[in-house]
Structures are given as C-alpha cells and as structure tokens.
Structure 1
Amino acid sequence: MREPEFKVVDPRRRFLLWFVPPLAVFVTGLVVLLVSGHITGPFRSVTVVRALFASKRDFFQDEQVKRILMARGYQVHVTPIGSRDLADKPDLDSYHFVFPSGHVANEHVKSRRAGKHVVPYRPFFTPVVLATFREHAEALVRARVATAHDQGAQPLYYNLDMAEFTKLSAWRWSDYGLSNGNRVIAQSPDPCKAYSGATLVGFVATAFGDDPPQTVEAAEELARKVKPFVDAQGQAGEDMAPKYFVPEGRTHAVIAVIYEHQYIAYQLRQKSIDTERVLLYPTKQHQSTPELISFTPEGDRIGELMMNDPDLRRRAVELGFHSLGWNGETGNDFGSYIAGRGLPEPPAGEAGRVQLPKAELFERMLDVVGECK
C-alpha cells in the first residue's frame, strides 16, 4: 500500500485566491463611478437656490430635471404659488429667482425690482388650451362652433370659435345629443390667482371685439361683459389638469382650461395614445411664455442652464414644452420628438393671437371679473 501524501497549501496563495476576484470587481466599479461622477457627487459643493414658482413648477419638480441640476451643482428649492400672489409676495427679494406664468405677473415683478438686479430668461413656451373629451368636441362640431384640425378618423386637436362658443352658454350638452344636462361652459382656475384662469378672461373678451381696451374705463366695461361667462363655471379650482386627467375626469369638468404641455406630457406617458381626450384651440390663441426672472448670480446661473444646457432643453421638450432660443426663435425639436412618439404635432401658433390689454389694464379686468380685491 502507498503511504498517504500530505499536501501543504501556502496560506498566502489561498488568501489571494479569495481576495483578488472581489478586489477586481471593486476596482472596476470604482473606475466606472469615478468616470460617471457618481462617487464624487456627495462630496461636491451643492448650491441651494430658492425660487417661487407658478404653474410651471412641474418642470423643476421633475426627477430627471432635479438630477441634471444636481449634477451641475445646484438644487432648486420649489415654493409653489399662483402667479398673481407671486408678484405681490412681500418677501419677494428673499428668493434667488421667480418663475411666474404670464406677462401681467412678469411686468409687476420687474416693476417691483426697479433699480435692482433683474435678468429675465425665456426658455420655452406653452399655449393655453381648452381640454375636453371626444364626445363633447364632436358635439361642438355639430353645434358649428368647432372644426377638426386633424384629418384622421380620430382627431386629437380641434379649432374653436370663441365668439360662437360663448353663445352656447345658455344651452346644455343634452341639446346636442349627449346625456349630460349641464351647461356648455369651460372651467378654469381662479383668474385672480392662476394665469390660465386669467387667459380664459382674455379668450372670452375676444367675443366682444378684437381691439383690447386702452383706458381703465373701457377695461372695466369689457370686464363686466365677460364676467357672467366666468361666473357661470361656479367654484373655481387652483389647477384643472389634475381633475381632467383622472379616470373620472368627465364628472369634474368636461371642458377644462389647461396648458398644452400638460396634455402632451400626459400623452407621452401613456402606453398608447388616449384618443378620448382631445384639445380645443381657440381661433385666436394665447401662448404662455413664462419668464425665469433672476434676482441673484445664482438665479442667473439657473437661467443660463435653462437656455444652454442640452440635457435640460431636451427634458423640457419631453415634458411637452416648445423650446425657445436666446433670440426668441422656436426650436424644431418639439415637433420631431412627439412625432417620433406617434403623437401628431398640435396647431400651436398656426392661428391668430389674442391681443391682451396692457398689464395694468388687464389686471383691472381681472379685479372686476374675479372680484379679486
């Protein structure tokens, strides 16, 4: 019989066999993290920027936007507020920048900052639209106040004659073949607080003529004509989009005043296009071009990133906004992007535009219509 053999194993070799493979994995992962910047992220200096936001706060609350800004060394602290309340906020100067939705608030903010640091940036725009459901849009077609913009069997966009639409306020949906017995009206946020609600005042005002008022007296007279149409909608909400997009949206508001980007972003999130929800574009449109108004160098930096950073600009389009260049030119990326996702390009900018009165006169109209003060 052969004598048993004893094999001596070098403990250093055993240690290397156990240690080297996980070490290689660790080193590889460390290199990847260093290259991508994730490992150094927590050790970077992050500047917290405080800002007041109206309806476009959804852009800065987007998780991808937050990550992009954090990678650039900034964290934006969002304080939501209506555009008009924003412009009147007593501690306005304590923020790095503000982002109201419309020209009335924009001008009021700038007048309050007269003689101080104030730099405006206009990174994108979005039209104010009337969102409804297919059966209601088709009822408006039968009433001869709307026409389909698309040529397909299930159009998503319709043109709406506001002058004729206001004449339907005394009628009910049941008069046009629907089971809904409510009056044919649009519902908007409070015009005293939200810019989309204020824009409905401008839309209805076009039913009484194209020329905006030039005096306080004329503005008040026009506002008194508009007021019954706004009062008819009852208790106004803060934002109609959340009510419109829920499954039971028809029970909340069959025509809701919202922003186009909210509809586009909703459709892009769906697995397939929701053909039951459609948009009405007044024959005289209004584009909300929010201004990021900076009060500080930190605010300037956020504004510059909004105008220049390709990742932020790409994300704005993905969230439904039309991008703008430094000179106010419209980018071509919006149409090509949504077309690539199977969504037809909407008729934004194809019709005439609502001529709103000067800021101070329009503000007076809102005071009369909404009984704001």
Structure 2
Amino acid sequence: MLLAAVVVVVAAAVVITTRGGNSHPPTVASKETSPGLVRKETAPSPAATETSPPLATVRGVIGSEKKAFFEDPKVIEAFADEGMRVEVDPAGSRQIATSIDLKRYDFAFPSSAPAADRIQRQSKVSAKYTPFSSPMAIATFLPIAKLLDRAGVVKKAGSGKKPGVRTFDFARYLDLVARGVQWDQLDKNTAYRVRKNILVSTTDPRSSNSAAMYLAVASYVANGHAIVQGTAAEENVLPTVSQLFLGQGYTDNTSEGPFEEYLSVGMGPTPLVWIYEAQFLEAVARGRTKPGMVLMYPSPTVLSKHTLVPLNADGDRVGRLLSTDPELQRLAAEHGFRSGDAARFAKVAADHDVPVPPDLIDVVDTPSYDTLERLLGKVAKSYR
C-alpha cells in the first residue's frame, strides 16, 4: 500500500531589510488604487495558505538616520500586521533627491522638506507625508562643553546636579571660526589642547541633508539673522559658510558616518558633531553612549522634517501608516523622533535622562530650495 504524500506548508517570512538589490516581486493588479498612484501586490504563491497570506513587498529609499527604525523588529511586526514587508536602502537625502534612480522604489523618505519638494516635482507627485521630525543638534563631550562655556559659546539652562539643556551660540561660534581660533588657544584649556581649528564636524554638503541644514543655519546667522534671499546675499555669506566645510577635510556622505565615529572613537577626532537629535536619543536608549557624552542645541537651530514621498499606492500606504498608526508613532518616539504627540516624546527623553527642550522656540526656516541648491553648488565648487 502506497504511503500518502507529505504536504509541506511553507509560511511566509517577515522581515524588513536594508539591501542594495533592485528586484521586485511578481505583482498583480489591485482594485484599490489612489488617484495618480498605481498599487502593486505580491502575487499569491502556490505554497501560500489561506491562514498565511503572502506579504506585499514595498521598497523605499530613506535617509540613513532612519535605518535603525525600519530595522526594529517591532516596526517589522507592525508593518507585517498590515500585510507588508518593507525593504529600505539608506542614502544621503540630497543623493535621494538628485542622483538616485527612484524608479526602483515605491517611496522616497529623505530627511528634509526641500529634498522632498524636489522629488515631488521630478516625479510629478502631489502627495507627501511628514510623520515625524527632528531638530538638528550637536553631540559633544562634557569637557568640551565646559571649555566652550568658558569661551561664551555654550550655555546650560538650570543649575545644580541635574543636567539642563545646553545651547550652542552659533553667532559666537562663527566669530571664533572667522578669527581662526584653535582649541589650544582657548583660555584655561587643559582638557583638549589640540592645535587645530574649532569646527563642528558635518557630513558632505554635496550629498547629505544634515550638512545642508548646517549651511541653512550658518547662512542665516552670517546674513545678519535673516534668511538668505537673492544673489547679493548668497555671495555675501559664501566665504563664511565655505570655510565651515573646507576646514574639515574628509566628510561622510551620510549622517551615520560622523556619529558612529563620535560613538566609537571619542573626542580626539570629533569633539563636536552635527547630528539629528533623534540619533543621540536612540543611541542612549540602546546603551551605545558613554559617560560624558552630552547633547547641545544650536541657537538658532533648524527643524528637519522627515518627509515621505509616495511613488505609487503601496508607498502611499506606508506614508499613511507611519503618520496615523498609534504603534508606529509610539515606536518612532522610542527612536527619538518627534511626532504630533509631544508628551510621548518627552517621556522617552525623561526615561533616558536626556535633557531636551520641550518646545522648540529658536528655530529658523531654511532658504528656498533653489537658494539652498545654489549655495550648496557654490560650496561644492570651493572643494575643487
């Protein structure tokens, strides 16, 4: 008597990955489409069962500072509960807007509104989502903060043993840079006697949004605390902002690079690092910071609005979920991002003893996209 055949049931795997491939799964048409967007769904596998339907694979290109969020197993599970497997490739936000082939993706998720605006124009997409944001900040070390406090650049709110919010006076900083002041020339400097110019480490302005945000703040202050408008103003601030970048030497393409060096190497090469606030909070939450690592807020600062541009209906669904799903919003706060619920973010910061400003007051707008691009282009020419 012949034995009955064995039926093997294969369950669909649930993962979110960062990868460089450009292949898409087989797709079938969907009856549910949004105006101007085309939705695709993964074709049912012969091995799939009614109780384990296949997940629709959705691919996006994102600013590198959001990589850990999309790799979080809880985020993976939240998307899987909605029937999606989200795959992301990290890149510099300006790269996403200028040189990445977006035809490979269902959504683009740069770290700034100007970059998203350009993507919208190029892709002829009107929809966009801003599920969370993060102000720009400076990661440093307690000895450096105290040294700059004596130099009149850094101020700390509050008093006593409990740490307060530290602010970094950008105008005083630009004055030090303009005069070519070096670290070992600061009065009573016994903590960091290094013969090199006082400069904040950034990413490459030719590819990264965080460097563009640094230029936005610097140009605003250099322009007499006014947003740069017009050719005359651009030419007037160019020598100042170029000096901030050219004096650094090599710079990374994404914000992940300099912050990883800050975390792993210490204050030797990078005493001051321009970052997203969310990066520092996330590192503290994951136990990656060391005693003496502190956060400062430039005065003024600029708000980086993480803006998702859907390139089809599947990307649109990701944007809507990130903006409205309570679990994904909660997880975004755990990764240090600010969303519509200020109390949730404040609790995360308080739970990890990171002093943050509850309300962002000293925030400036970025120049128009075209002005910012012209300034970045002129700075890029200075490298040559």
TM-score (norm 1): 0.81
Offset of residue 215 of structure 1: 1.6
Partner of 1:230: 245
Offset of residue 257 of structure 1: 0.6
Offset of residue 90 of structure 1: 5.9
Mapped to 2, the partners of 1:172 and 1:279 lie a distance apart of 22
Change (3 A) 1:40 1:313: farther
Change (3 A) 1:90 1:313: closer
SS at match of 2:128: strand
Mapped to 2, the partners of 1:253 and 1:139 lie a distance apart of 15
Contact conserved, 1:220 with 1:368, CA < 8 A, in 2?
Answer: no
Amino acid at match of 1:103: A
Mapped to 2, the partners of 1:348 and 1:227 lie a distance apart of 33
Change (3 A) 1:180 1:319: same
Identity %: 28
* 1:198-257 deviation line (CA, Å, top 9, x unaligned): 1111222233211222223432432233111221111112331111111x2212301001
1:202 to 216, 229, 237: 216
Asked whether 1:336 is paired with 2:347, we answer yes
SS at match of 1:289: strand
Matches within 5 A, 1:280-291: 280-291=296-307
258-267 or 156-165, which deviates more: 156-165
Partner of 1:148: 156
Offset of residue 135 of structure 1: 0.2
Mapped to 1, the partners of 2:49 and 2:297 lie a distance apart of 48
Amino acid at match of 1:123: P
253-262 or 153-162, which deviates more: 153-162
- Larger proportion of helix: 1
Contact conserved, 1:150 with 1:158, CA < 8 A, in 2?
Answer: no
Contact conserved, 2:116 with 2:307, CA < 8 A, in 1?
Answer: yes
Matches within 5 A, 1:133-282: 133-153=141-161, 155=163, 157-169=165-177, 170-176=180-186, 177=189, 178-181=191-194, 182-208=196-222, 209-238=224-253, 239=255, 240-246=258-264, 248-270=265-287, 274-282=290-298
SS at match of 1:204: helix
Amino acid at match of 1:270: G
Contact conserved, 2:218 with 2:241, CA < 8 A, in 1?
Answer: yes
Mapped to 2, the partners of 1:41 and 1:320 lie a distance apart of 38
The count of aligned residue pairs is: 325
* 1:124-173 deviation line (CA, Å, top 9, x unaligned): 11111111000000000000111112434363631111010122232222
SS at match of 1:251: coil
Mapped to 2, the partners of 1:348 and 1:204 lie a distance apart of 24
TM-score (norm 2): 0.78
Amino acid at match of 1:347: P
Offset of residue 91 of structure 1: 3.0
Offset of residue 344 of structure 1: 4.3
Change (3 A) 1:90 1:168: closer
95-104 or 198-207, which deviates more: 198-207
Partner of 2:15: none
Change (3 A) 1:205 1:42: farther
Offset of residue 364 of structure 1: 0.6
Mapped to 1, the partners of 2:49 and 2:160 lie a distance apart of 52
The structure with more radius of gyration: 1
* Consecutive aligned runs of 4 or more in structure 1 exceeding 4 Å deviation: 39-42
Contact conserved, 2:284 with 2:352, CA < 8 A, in 1?
Answer: no
Offset of residue 283 of structure 1: 1.5
Mapped to 2, the partners of 1:105 and 1:179 lie a distance apart of 37
Contact conserved, 1:224 with 1:368, CA < 8 A, in 2?
Answer: no
How well do the aligned residues superpose, as a CA RMSD in angstroms?
A: 2.4
Asked whether 1:362 is paired with 2:369, we answer no
* 1:240-290 deviation line (CA, Å, top 9, x unaligned): 1111111x221230100111111111112239x854111121111111111
* 1:62-97 deviation line (CA, Å, top 9, x unaligned): 232122212221111112221111112363234211
